[in-house]
A = this chain, B = another copy of it.
């Protein structure tokens, strides 16, 4: 964590332990640094798993293997390597992942498909197998660590540790979710990655855990952007140990399923926001809410066109209520839009309504709103009932400094 802490950082929360889940961290030495860089989380037998993965076609072996193995639904361990993403490394990268899976599976006496591996960091360099072997060896017998230690150890260019927690009542049983994430968008030197892990003591069928995670993903991780660049390694996994002892959740028909799904959604949204708050160079946290679209998905696409527009992001950095740039971004999204029905506001104050600048538009409250760290942009397309909110950060000199002012 070489960069100054983001001005948008949040303190690490008090995170409950999850029965059946034990995190450990050790130093494998993937880079020439003094910190821990290998995270090893053990999961008691019976833990189920669900996952969502990057759609990048040039994804890493970790993603390819994880996407396949999540289908069998059971997990006994998670290993996260920091400092080397192992992406674009061909068969040698794949061998390193398979070695780690076999080493842990041998120790735990489980099928290797139940060992999940993620890697983040430099691209194009095969993960060194000797360092991985020694690191995992140490990890297998290491002392347990705190969630904050684990959150720091999965990080690369993040400027603060990121965690979130939530509880839900499932019938008469309280279940708890603790989760960690790393990422500054997809934008760090040598390409950072978003890796997120949720752990819960709830008893839940794998298919329903996947349904909850996938649904939450659509409205959280898929609604954030720092710079429109999609990592080769993005991964979010959810693990459920069942130790809370509730009647297993099998579908939305199960008692407490709605509360559990809401808690998963809540944690995913918290994690997604934390990633944006650590977007490289970010000075403003921006929520873009689009209403009046022909569908929710159309609203999301319009929101992302706004959130990805360098012109909009630099305008917010300049604290400039430049609604003309928002008009441009709506128009380029390619989704149904009618210039003469379009309304645009900042901080809850309309600047333009139904295709015309407001004659009595008072810029003073908008200017005050834009000076803060949390900025909202409202867009009403005036066409239908679809809506979505997406989140991004501004585009500043800090982004250029981090990504251009160095030689790798």
Listed in ascending order, the chain A residues whose CB lies under 8 Å from chain B are 55-59, 87-90, 122-125, 186-187, 190-191, 227-232, 308-311, 314-315, 317-320, 322-325, 327-334, 337-340, 342, 352, 355-357, 394-397, 399-401, 403-408
With A90-B356, A324-B87 in contact, is A186–B311 under 8 Å at CB?
A: yes
CB atoms of A314 and B57 under 8 A apart: no
Query: Which residue from B58, B308, B396 sits with its C-beta under 8 Å from A342?
Result: B58
Instruction: Let me know if B324 and A88 touch, CB within 8 A.
Output: yes
CA distance A8 to B214 in the complex (A): 47
Please tell me if the beta carbons of A190 and B322 are within 8 angstroms of each other in the complex. Answer: yes
Contact between chains at B403 and A400 (CB < 8 Å): no
Shortest distance between the CB of A123 and any CB in chain B (Å)? 3
Tell me whether A315 and B403 are in contact (CB under 8 A).
Answer: yes
Q: Given the known inter-chain contacts A89-B356, A190-B324, A356-B89, please indicate yes or no for A310 contacting B310, CB distance below 8 A.
A: yes
**Contact (Cβ within 8 A) A337 B191:** no
User: Considering only CB atoms, which chain B residue lies closest to A407 in the complex?
Assistant: B320
Q: In the complex, are the beta carbons of A355 and B88 less than 8 A apart? A: yes
Within 8 Å CB of A124, what residues of B? 323-324, 327, 352, 357
User: Which residues of B are found within 8 Å of A338, using beta-carbon distances?
Assistant: 57
Q: How far is the CB of A237 from chain B (nearest CB, A)?
A: 21
Measured CB to CB, the closest approach of chain B to A327, in angstroms, equals: 5
Task: Pick from A310, A338, A356 the residue with the most CB of B within 10 Å.
Answer: A310
A56 to chain B, nearest CB (A): 4
Q: List 7 A-B residue pairs with CB atoms under 8 Å apart, sorted by A's residue number.
A: A58-B327, A58-B342, A122-B324, A232-B328, A320-B406, A397-B400, A400-B400
